[in-house]
Amino acid sequence: MTIVELFQTNAVAFYGVVAFVSLMVGSFLNVVIHRLPIMMERGWRDGVKEYLTDQQVDRKIPLNLEFQSELPPEPFNIAVPRSRCPQCGNEIKAWQNIPIISYLILAGKCAGCTTAISVRYPIVEFVTLILSLVVAWNLGPTPAALLGIIITWFLVAMSMIDFDHQLLPDSMTLPLMWIGLIAALIPIFADLRSAVIGAAAGYMTLWSIYQLFKLITGKEGMGYGDFKLLAALGALLGWQDLPIIILLSSLVGAIVGLAIIAVTGRDKNIPIPFGPYLAAAGWITMLWGDKLSNWYYNFLM
């Protein structure tokens, strides 16, 4: 009996594996969300340092690179250094890093200094768990469910990074697009023709809106990461689903943005990240796109 056949005959095993793996991945996503932007900044600064050093040599001019002293000298990536309490510096032990459970055992505080641990960590783990289970419930033990869960993990991480830094890393959007194009060879959600057109159309649609908005207002309405994320969603789901993704993300983005301005008094000139709305719209479309499209077109008719 293959694993797929086992999952098809044993729903408890299927959902149990999805839940366990998703919780572990949710914990890992917390690391990615925190560290990836720092890694990108370090890489950018190293690049600037190398470029400016070359300029100094070529032009024989003095150059101040004191900002480099702000960077910690030790290696810093997804794997190292070990996670620590930012307050007391104690390394987080394995039993203190069990998704959700450790947070409850520790009562949301560091075991060393009792500094409060952000509730966002278990929330990200819980959201990753729930969204993955929803995908598994809707798609069953199929290749589509596996791809859908992987997409979910990517979208959770990118949404949080964009929310924190207004940044959608190429190291996440581009692999997601290639995953979509490769999956189209099977195909899963879209055939190869629809995926290729979807990737191109997704990028060019938001790029065109960006250029038009900039031409009219002189301001940048969104970032290039948004173009790449929609291109990835187009590659994953096909060009046919792009209209519903754009409509959903724009509608939800407008409602939430206006609500934030009204409730918090936020300056309307401060940009609001669009990536989380694209991610949410893409995830919803992945599961219920056909039903939404049918309802929408029936409504128009």
Taking only the tens place, the pLDDT of each residue in 115-131 is: 899 999 999 999 999 99
Give φ, ψ of 109 to 5 degrees: -135, 150
> Is pLDDT of 161 > 60?
yes
Judge whether 96 and 85 are in contact, CB under 8 Å: no
Residue 65: pLDDT above 60? no
Residue whose C-alpha is closest to residue 229's, from 157, 278, 281:
278
Residue-level pLDDT at 60: 52
What pLDDT is attached to residue 140?
94
The separation between CA 101 and the C-alpha centre of its own chain, rounded to angstroms, equals: 24
Measured N-to-C along each axis, helices 192-217 and 170-183 cross at an angle, to the nearest 10 degrees, of 150
Name the 3-class secondary structure at 103. Answer: helix
Please tell me the distance from the alpha carbon of residue 198 to that of residue 191, in angstroms, as a whole number. 10
In this prediction, residues 272-283 reach a mean pLDDT of 94
Rounded to whole angstroms, how far apart are CA atoms 185 and 13?
Answer: 29
Q: List beta partners, residue 109.
A: 116
- The residues pairing with 116 across neighbouring beta strands, listed in sequence order, are 109
Q: Which residue did the predictor score with more confidence, 21 or 261?
A: 21
pLDDT of residue 66: 47
For residues 252 and 280, the answer to whether their CB atoms sit within 8 Å is yes
* Token duo for residue 118: 């952000």
55 vs 48: CA distance, rounded Å: 10
Contact 23, 125 (CB under 8 A): yes
Cis peptide before 81 (omega within 30 of 0): yes
Report the 10 Å Cβ neighbour count for 107: 10
DSSP 90: P
What pLDDT band is residue 242 in, cutting at 50, 70 and 90?
A: very high
pLDDT of the residue at 192: 97
Residue whose entry in the numeric block shows the structure tokens 């979807």: 198
Residues in the chain: 301
